[in-house]
Structure 1
Amino acid sequence: MSVLTFTFQVLTICGCWPPNSWTSRYKRIMYDIYTVCIVLLINTFMLSQLMDIILNVDNTDDFAENFYVTLAMIVSCCKMFSLLRNRSNIAMLIDILMKKPCKPVEFDEIKIRQKFDRLIQMNTLYYATLVELTCAFAVATSVFKDYRKDRLAFRAWLPFNYSSPILFRIAYVHQSISLTVGSVLHIACDSLICGLLMHICSQIEIFKCHLRKIVNKSHFLRECVIQHIYISKFAFMVNKKFRFIITVQFVVSMLVVCFNLHQLTQMDINAKYIQIMLYMCCMLTQISFYCWYGNEVKLKSQQLASNVFEMEWLTLDHNVKRSLLIIMTRSMIPIEFTSAYVISMNLESFVGLLKTSYSAYNILQQMKD
């Protein structure tokens, strides 16, 4: 049974995961070259924007023009680095899901896994559609607005004079492709992390199925104890391996929401206004996925004690009751994902992020007045 198939296809497109069928040495070398090209694309675009802010920007209007895109590209570079660094760890996590005790065996367990797989694929597809529509809108409006006037799609510092038509076209295409690749990287990393969170929810649902079967099949007890330990270890590994990128995402999301709120109040409704609104929707969708499914993992892990009580546990023997009591005691401390060891990934954090961004926006408005 495959796991996160669509997500790994997106990872392959953005140069972070070689196709499984490419086993020959030459194909692996070709894919490594492709990965290097992707890394160069997004890093050169990010550096050109960052250097423009450092060297050329001297007023708030110029700073505001591309700041949110610069932040998005910085996060894209961080996500690329995190994905490439954690290739072996990602393979290890997927391997855990594909083997016992996490691998579903019976029909009802397979149905649960398939239900979550469909939900993961649907979420990834909807999120990808939103992000790529935003990216396509930004590129299309730039073609009609900037390209005809021989201006780049985004402000940038370049180490050459791009006034000649050929160099201008190269720089313009470079920006457009880099923006698209950066957006695909966001989709790949976000869908991978959220997909792993949803698989933890799937494992908890399968674990509940095992609990209900203990009454008639006592041999399931040992599998339940082992599976409960595996779920906790798996969640800890996911949180540990992706804590850096989750932290970066939280910080940047807060900055972007605050900054874009300020920008929207200063603009008339035009193409730029719509572009920033779409970008805001992407950013809020992005961080809400992290918080929503982090919250789902916490709630489902907390409900395990209640699930044990719902069983006919009074009819079980002493050893079974003792093992169930150990599981209940462990479930009193829920599985919780954190950002920077401090901020929990739940709905309260999402609301707190919005409130903090709005408070910062009010402070900016007061300083301006």
Structure 2
Amino acid sequence: MEHHNWISKIKLYIFLLRIMGLWPESNKPGIYTLYSTLTISLYIIGHLFFQVVNVYFIAHDLASVVATSFHLLIEFLAAVKSYYIMKNISILKDRIITFKSDWFQPRSPHQRKLIEPTIYFWQMIFKVCVCMAYGCNAFWAIYPLIEKSEEKRLPFLAWYPYDYNKSPYYEITYIYQVICIGYLTTIHLNVDTLIYAFCVYTSCQFDILADNIRNLANVDDSFTDSVHHNMLKCVEHHKNSLSFIEGSTKFFSWILLWHLLVSGVSIGISLFQLTTVVPLSSEFYSLVSFINAITLQIFMYCWFGEEVQTKSENLSYAVFESDWTDLLKRLKRTCCFLECI
């Protein structure tokens, strides 16, 4: 049967991370290293620096500090994700190469259909996240323009070593901030979706493994050796799946920790900020869209993580769903062993 192309499903995310300067093709320094340094310095470090400096100057104004802090934390989180992507790029590439292994291939059309709903759900979630994230960005980008204010406002409070209220500095600075937040949002989306992909692919492996276990005993006793061989292959498949999980968690465990901490604080601050703005104003809607987007991110991490754990725990039930009672005694003992994996 034709190999299932797992990598084709994540090519888009890898391509976008490469555009962001976070996915080098090799570890050797070159033109891409220079490009990566420039983009990260300009769109992450520069954007964060100007906002942090501004916090120093407005430290006496609690309302302004609160208005800056919640999205500043999320931007800091994007910087953390970028750091761990670049630090663990070799681990990531090794995990992706693992997808090509024969162990991770569905063995029948039935197994292909078995994993399709999970993959489809993950891809739909990505589309929802894109709409919510860039919708939130659109609110942040336009609300200073549609608010009736005499002073020129930027999407984000920041300090710059020039008077940005004058034209064309205002327009240039405005566009710079919009590009920066779009860049940071793209990092958030693609890193998160890549982690979701690892969780989805792992849960698909448990679906395939469970189906293999269910069909172990669908043979006569004359095929005892074949059944025993298939049992050993299931054990090996399970070991490889656990090895894949172990390698993957080295990449995203710290990202997940930072994500939960920063997102929790940001949601709390933004909910407080929501009580201080004019109801149903453009800023009100931008805050609501921000809270929804961050909440969805946390929910999806929990959802896909729970899927992996649940499907792993359900492997033992797959043994009893097979016709294990018709096997020889020594194979029944092996089935008992499979129940414990």
TM bucket normalised to smaller: 0.7 to 0.9
Greater Cα shift, 199-208 or 264-273: 264-273
Provide the rounded CA distance (Å) in 2 between the counterparts of 1:300 and 1:222: 20
Structure 1 contact 154–175 (Cα < 8 Å) conserved: yes
Provide the rounded CA distance (Å) in 1 between the counterparts of 2:210 and 2:98: 19
Equivalent residues, number: 324
Q: C-alpha displacement at 1:251, in angstroms?
A: 0.4
Provide the rounded CA distance (Å) in 1 between the counterparts of 2:81 and 2:170: 29
Match of 1:362 in 2: none
Structure 1 contact 7–124 (Cα < 8 Å) conserved: no
Q: C-alpha displacement at 1:210, in angstroms?
A: 0.8
Are 2:333 and 1:327 aligned? no
Unmatched 5+ stretches in structure 2: 220-225
Are 2:43 and 1:32 aligned? no
Structure 1 contact 146–153 (Cα < 8 Å) conserved: no
Greater Cα shift, 232-241 or 145-154: 145-154
The RMSD of aligned alpha carbons is 2.3
Match of 1:302 in 2: 313
Structure 1 contact 7–121 (Cα < 8 Å) conserved: no
User: For 2:104, what is the secondary structure of its paired residue?
Assistant: coil
Higher Cα radius of gyration = 2
Q: C-alpha displacement at 1:165, in angstroms?
A: 2.3
Counterpart AA for 2:203? C
Residue 273 of structure 1 is aligned with which of 284, 308, 321? 284
Q: C-alpha displacement at 1:202, in angstroms?
A: 0.3
Distance 1:214 1:142, change over 3 A: same
Counterpart AA for 1:192? L
* Residue correspondence of structure 1 range 343-358 to structure 2 within 5 A: none
User: For 2:153, what is the secondary structure of its paired residue?
Assistant: coil
Greater Cα shift, 319-328 or 57-66: 319-328
User: For 2:155, what is the secondary structure of its paired residue?
Assistant: coil
Structure 2 contact 115–207 (Cα < 8 Å) conserved: no
Q: C-alpha displacement at 1:240, in angstroms?
A: 2.3
Provide the rounded CA distance (Å) in 1 between the counterparts of 2:18 and 2:108: 32
Provide the rounded CA distance (Å) in 2 between the counterparts of 1:16 and 1:317: 55
Query: Greater RCO between the two (CA within 8 Å, min separation 6)?
Result: 2
Structure 1 contact 228–327 (Cα < 8 Å) conserved: no
Residue 258 of structure 1 is aligned with which of 257, 268, 289? 268
Q: C-alpha displacement at 1:285, in angstroms?
A: 0.2
Q: C-alpha displacement at 1:147, in angstroms?
A: 9.8
Residue 102 of structure 1 is aligned with which of 98, 101, 104? 104
Match of 1:227 in 2: 237
Deviations 1:303-324 (A, max 9, x none): 1112212222122234433333
Distance 1:304 1:288, change over 3 A: same
Structure 1 contact 213–220 (Cα < 8 Å) conserved: no
Provide the rounded CA distance (Å) in 1 between the counterparts of 2:119 and 2:38: 32
Q: C-alpha displacement at 1:260, in angstroms?
A: 1.8
Q: C-alpha displacement at 1:75, in angstroms?
A: 0.4
Counterpart AA for 1:152? L
Structure 2 contact 20–187 (Cα < 8 Å) conserved: yes
Provide the rounded CA distance (Å) in 2 between the counterparts of 1:65 and 1:126: 26
Provide the rounded CA distance (Å) in 1 between the counterparts of 2:173 and 2:331: 68
Distance 1:57 1:146, change over 3 A: farther
Match of 1:249 in 2: 259
User: For 1:179, what is the secondary structure of its paired residue?
Assistant: helix
Counterpart AA for 2:323? E
Distance 1:69 1:323, change over 3 A: same
User: For 1:214, what is the secondary structure of its paired residue?
Assistant: coil
Match of 2:141 in 1: 139
User: For 1:157, what is the secondary structure of its paired residue?
Assistant: coil
Q: C-alpha displacement at 1:162, in angstroms?
A: 3.2
Match of 1:152 in 2: 154
Residue 184 of structure 2 is aligned with which of 165, 177, 182? 182
User: For 1:165, what is the secondary structure of its paired residue?
Assistant: coil
Structure 2 contact 133–293 (Cα < 8 Å) conserved: yes
Provide the rounded CA distance (Å) in 2 between the counterparts of 1:212 and 1:96: 25
Structure 2 contact 48–76 (Cα < 8 Å) conserved: yes
Match of 1:316 in 2: 327
Q: C-alpha displacement at 1:85, in angstroms?
A: 1.6
Provide the rounded CA distance (Å) in 2 between the counterparts of 1:95 and 1:146: 54
Structure 1 contact 225–323 (Cα < 8 Å) conserved: no
User: For 2:105, what is the secondary structure of its paired residue?
Assistant: coil
> TM (normalized to structure 1)?
0.81
Are 2:16 and 1:6 aligned? no
Counterpart AA for 2:53? M
Counterpart AA for 2:23? W
Q: C-alpha displacement at 1:114, in angstroms?
A: 4.0
Match of 1:49 in 2: 51
Q: C-alpha displacement at 1:12, in angstroms?
A: 3.1
Structure 2 contact 215–322 (Cα < 8 Å) conserved: no
Provide the rounded CA distance (Å) in 1 between the counterparts of 2:148 and 2:256: 34
Deviations 1:4-55 (A, max 9, x none): 233323323433235x7xx9x9xx9454343223311112111211221133
Counterpart AA for 1:86? N
Distance 1:96 1:112, change over 3 A: farther
User: For 1:159, what is the secondary structure of its paired residue?
Assistant: coil
Distance 1:291 1:108, change over 3 A: same
Counterpart AA for 2:22? C
Unmatched 5+ stretches in structure 1: 331-369
Provide the rounded CA distance (Å) in 2 between the counterparts of 1:32 and 1:114: 38
